[in-house]
Amino acid sequence: MDNQNQALDFILQSALLWSGMVKKADQQLSVHGISFSEFGILHQLSLAPQQRLSRIELANAVGLSASGITRLLQPMEKIQLVEKEQNARDARVSLVKLTPTGQQIYLDALQTCNFFATQFVSPLTPRQQEMLVDLLQRL
């Protein structure tokens, strides 16, 4: 098994893992009424200073396009998980801010997601999990 095949295996193996992972995550998170993508948004917002980010920052943080973010946020605003806020310095950017409701839903969903994620990586020892996260972060 040479290096090239190893790299190819990595890509194809990831495809397989990922498709299953998202499906299960969405399913588990559905009890909170949110999708995995929406969880990702809540997560990034909760990490952000003052829990607010521009839409572009959000898009980069979760790996979606700007238009994807626009459409994802529409229903989230409607059910008050996040709210719009405009930037005083630059009228182009419309900031997204986590509401208290959104914060609460996030904390609930975080429990579920942590449980799921922990279960997902459970075939590995903690030492191996650490190594895996470390390796991925270098890519």
Q: How far is CA 131 from the centre of its chain?
A: 21
**Which residue spans within the chain are E strands per DSSP?**
52-54, 82-86, 94-98
Choose the one of a copy of itself, DNA, none that binds residue 69, judging by a C-beta under 5 to 8 angstroms depending on kind.
Answer: DNA
**Which residue spans within 6-99 are E strands per DSSP?**
52-54, 82-86, 94-98
Least Å from the CB of residue 33 to a copy of itself:
19
Least Å from the CB of residue 91 to a copy of itself:
30
Longest dimension (CA), the chain: 57
Nearer to DNA, 57 or 108 (CB): 57
Among 35, 46, 62, 99, binds a copy of itself (CB under 8 A): 62
Choose the one of DNA, a copy of itself, none that binds residue 29, judging by a C-beta under 5 to 8 angstroms depending on kind.
Answer: none
Burial environment of residue 57 by CB neighbours within 10 A (0 to 12, 13 to 18, 19 or more):
middle
CB 62 within 8 A of CB 44: yes
By CB under 8 A, tell whether 127 contacts a copy of itself: no
Where does this chain bind a copy of itself (CB under 8 A)?
3-22, 25, 36, 40, 43, 61-64, 110, 113-114, 116-118, 120-121, 123-124, 126, 128-133, 135-139
